[in-house]
Amino acid sequence: MPTTELTAAWAGIDLASSRLRVCRHGLMLYLAADTTIGRALELYGEFAESENELMMEIVKHGDVLLDVGANIGTVTLPLARRIGSSGLLISFEPQRVIFQHLCANIALNGLTHVDARRTAVGSAAGQIYVPLVAATTSTNFGGVTLLGNAEGEPVPMIAIDDLKLERCAFIKIDVEGMEAAVLQGAEQTIARARPAIYFEAKRTAATPSCFAWLLKREYRLYWHFAAFFRTSNFRNVANNVFDGRGDINALAIPAESSLRFELPSVASPDEDWQLACRKWLTSGRDQRFFR
């Protein structure tokens, strides 16, 4: 049954701490207490959808992809549908309760070519402590950091190079400050496969080092702001409860690639994203990724 017919015929299920709803990319199980992704799916049936729209211009049928910091699968699901069963998507999520929801969403949507792993990703193999956050805690589960934790649940950590991938077309990274470590652990893969890379680029200590690392390896860098809300959302809800909030991301494309994007370029590692995007937006260029 098509998604639109499911939406009309079935309102979903409320569980003890989770909700199951029909959303833009299929059935989604999410935490009712999650103040960001969960709330967006509840109200709008989608989350930061311009991220997915941008990725769809990069990935293609049969690709091998990595979703590092997959959360409950708001990116995993559309990427998996895009590449089809002849492709492979490895999704990493170290938080226990979030990983359980990721696996549920993969299974509910029949995406058997997704390899979900409850593993952290860093610069080298090892172990890291992951905070155990109760499923009923009102918080942004996508904002939980693994940096500097001396307590929590021990979870294995790998480097992307440990996967020994023969090919890799795209890597999405959302790891709350560990982006530089993920890139360092993927150096051989990036040199060999030259994937496109999409990563969170908040103004943290890691951001300039990520930019410098990628520029040195001959990548073109673009800024991308992904709003949590957009007017053309899946449920056609006009009220924006996120008040302009969104994720500040960067897109890295190999210099030799023919792909081009109407997005503001990153000119230097220390560039201020607000100034760069403001100049770009006032220049009259295409603003579709900033809606």
pLDDT in tens, the chain (291 residues): 455 555 544 568 888 899 999 999 999 999 999 999 999 999 999 999 999 999 999 999 999 999 999 999 999 999 999 999 999 999 999 999 999 999 999 999 999 999 999 999 999 999 999 989 999 999 999 888 888 888 899 999 999 999 999 999 999 999 988 999 999 999 999 999 999 999 999 766 778 999 999 999 999 999 998 999 999 999 999 999 998 889 999 999 999 999 999 898 998 888 877 776 666 666 555 454 444
Query: What pLDDT is recorded for position 14?
Result: 86
The amino acid that residue 61 corresponds to is H
**Is 259 in contact with 237 (CB distance < 8 Å)?**
no
Q: Whole domain around residue 110: which residue ranges?
A: 3-290
137 φ/ψ angles, rounded to the nearest 5 degrees:
-75, 130
**What is the rounded distance in angstroms from the CA atom of residue 17 to the CA atom of residue 75?**
22
Q: Look at residue 220 and give its three-state secondary structure.
A: strand
Query: What pLDDT is recorded for position 4?
Result: 54
Query: What pLDDT is recorded for position 289?
Result: 46
How far are the Cα atoms of 24, 129, 228, 286 from residue 46, in angstroms, in the given order?
6, 30, 9, 23
Q: How many domains in the chain?
A: 1
| Block residue for tokens 């060999």 | 192
CATH code for the domain of 269: 3.40.50.150
**What is the rounded distance in angstroms from the CA atom of residue 231 to the CA atom of residue 239?**
8
| Rg of the Cα atoms in the chain | 18
Q: What burial class does residue 72 get, using C-beta atoms within 10 Å of its C-beta: 0-12 exposed, 13-18 middle, 19+ buried?
A: buried
Q: Per-residue DSSP letters for 136-184?
A: T--B-GGG---TT-SSSEEEEEE-GGGG--S---EEEE--TT-HHHHHH
Question: Secondary structure of the chain: what % helix, strand, coil (to 5)?
Answer: 30, 25, 45
| Tokens (6 digits) for 128 | 């890291």
Q: How far is CA 81 from the centre of its chain?
A: 15
Query: What pLDDT is recorded for position 281?
Result: 61
